[in-house]
């Protein structure tokens, strides 16, 4: 029995919607390559050997589409927390400037300018067109002509510089101020990641820099048992969400756990002293607070 896709997560339907909507404000030449024999396609097929151009005009469209899509996708999740999703969040304290705001954030208010304590989660959106598509300009018909293994592009989180950009931006937030220490940062994509990054995303989670690289695309490959379509890395630094509920639970857990990011470079002696003093506090929470305070006081000097 064929399962009908009623999921709200990323799928071919969403990509189709992107093209349909964007074609109302853009000409096909801005969204598709044109092959030597006059076909309109989203990516150059793997076996295409003709003369190629490099399309630049689609980028801005897909960027704003996916950020808006993500904002709307997460609205229900935010609502359960009594919060809102906001696009383009600026918070100078933690390195989110007007030039590079947070793509999407879950915040206690609807304002674009936010105080650190009102930001519950920062979401970096890294999504692109995943499948290859062919457009028929005379009929307006759009059809999927293969998954990302069949074309030459490298979509979303499969690109190493996309991952590095995400890491760079997150580190920038973490080192801007301790005010960002309680805010989870997650990367939301629509593709798997390459195996060369499996260990790195797990380590980024373990060290607290980024709480997760997530894919909202349950079936990125037409072959569902393809080895690259992993559900999760061993340390859960990467997760593929297969349903809205799954995603919502993960995000809500992250926000309600109230974790603290900390880092440093200290001698064992310095660390030992800090631990000794912190250990004088009566409860685990107080011990932790003192530990972090001492760690940070030292660092500020």
Q: According to CB under 7 A, which residues from 107 to 126 bind DNA?
A: 125-126
Task: Please report, as residue ranges, which positions from 83 to 102 form the binding site for DNA (by CB under 7 A).
Answer: 99-100
CB neighbour burial string for 1-38, b if at least 16 within 10 angstroms, e if fewer: eeeeeebebbbbebbeebbeebbeeeeeeebbbebeee
* Contact status: 292 vs DNA (CB under 7 A): no
Shortest Cβ distance from residue 116 to DNA (Å)?
19
Least Å distance between CB 127 and DNA?
7
Of 34, 55, 90, 292, which lies in the binding site for DNA, with binding defined by CB under 7 A? Answer: 55
Supply φ then ψ for residue 80, to 5 degrees: -60, -25
Q: Are 198 and 239 in contact (CB under 8 A)?
A: no
Residue 165 binds DNA, judged by CB under 7 A: yes
> Binding of DNA at residue 20 (CB under 7 A)?
no
Size of the site for DNA (CB under 7 A): 32
Stretches 54-62, 240-248, 265-273, 280-288: which one binds DNA (CB under 7 A)? 54-62
Which of 43, 131, 214, 291 touches DNA (CB under 7 A)? 43
Could you say whether residue 129 binds DNA (CB under 7 A)?
Answer: yes
Contact 111, 130 (CB under 8 A): no
The residue (of 196 and 283) whose beta carbon lies closer to DNA is: 196
Interaction of residue 145 with DNA, rule CB under 7 A: no
Beta strands in 102-216 (DSSP E): 102-107, 119-126, 132-135, 142-146, 185-189, 212-215
Sequence-separated (6 or more) residues with CB below 8 Å from residue 103: 67, 70, 87, 88, 123, 124, 125
Q: Which stretch binds DNA (CB under 7 A): 79-87, 137-145, 154-162, 255-263?
A: 154-162
State yes or no: residue 12 binds DNA (CB under 7 A). no
Nearer to DNA, 132 or 211 (CB): 132
> Distance between CA atoms of 54 and 243, rounded to whole angstroms?
35
Site for DNA contains 49 (CB under 7 A): no
d(CA 176, CA 217): 32
Q: Is 62 an interacting residue with respect to DNA (CB under 7 A)?
A: yes
**What span, in angstroms and rounded, lies between the C-alpha atoms of 197 and 74?**
26
Closest listed residue to residue 128, CA positions, set 102, 152, 154 = 154
Residues interacting with DNA, by CB under 7 A? 43-44, 52, 54-60, 62-63, 99-100, 103, 125-126, 128-129, 152-156, 159-162, 164-165, 169, 196
């Amino acid at each position: 029995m064929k399962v009908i896709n009623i999921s709200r997560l990323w799928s071919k339907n969403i990509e189709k919607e992107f093209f349909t909507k964007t074609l109302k404000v853009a000409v096909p030449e801005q969204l598709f390559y044109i092959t030597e024999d006059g076909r309109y396609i989203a990516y150059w097929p793997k076996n295409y050997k003709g003369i190629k151009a490099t399309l630049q005009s689609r980028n801005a469209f897909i960027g704003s589409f996916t950020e808006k899509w993500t904002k709307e996708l997460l609205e229900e999740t935010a609502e359960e927390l009594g919060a809102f999703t906001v696009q383009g969040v600026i918070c100078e304290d933690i390195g989110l400037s007007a030039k590079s705001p947070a793509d999407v954030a879950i915040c206690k208010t609807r304002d674009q300018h936010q105080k650190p304590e009102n930001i519950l989660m920062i979401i970096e959106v890294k999504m692109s067109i995943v499948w290859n598509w062919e457009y028929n300009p005379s009929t307006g018909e759009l059809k999927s002509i293969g998954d990302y293994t069949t074309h030459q592009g490298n979509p979303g989180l499969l690109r190493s510089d996309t991952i590095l950009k995400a890491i760079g931006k997150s580190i920038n937030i973490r080192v801007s101020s301790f005010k960002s220490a309680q805010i989870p940062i997650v990367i939301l994509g629509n593709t798997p990641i390459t195996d060369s990054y499996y260990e790195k995303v797990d380590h980024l989670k373990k060290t607290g820099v980024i709480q997760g690289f997530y894919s909202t695309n349950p079936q990125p490959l037409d072959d569902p048992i393809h080895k690259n379509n992993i559900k999760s890395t061993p340390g859960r630094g990467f997760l593929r969400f297969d349903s809205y509920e799954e995603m919502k639970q993960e995000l809500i857990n992250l926000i309600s756990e109230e974790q603290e990011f900390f880092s440093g470079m200290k001698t064992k002696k310095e660390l030992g002293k800090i631990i000794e003093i912190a250990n004088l506090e009566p409860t685990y929470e107080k011990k932790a607070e003192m530990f972090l305070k001492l760690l940070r006081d030292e660092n500020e000097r």
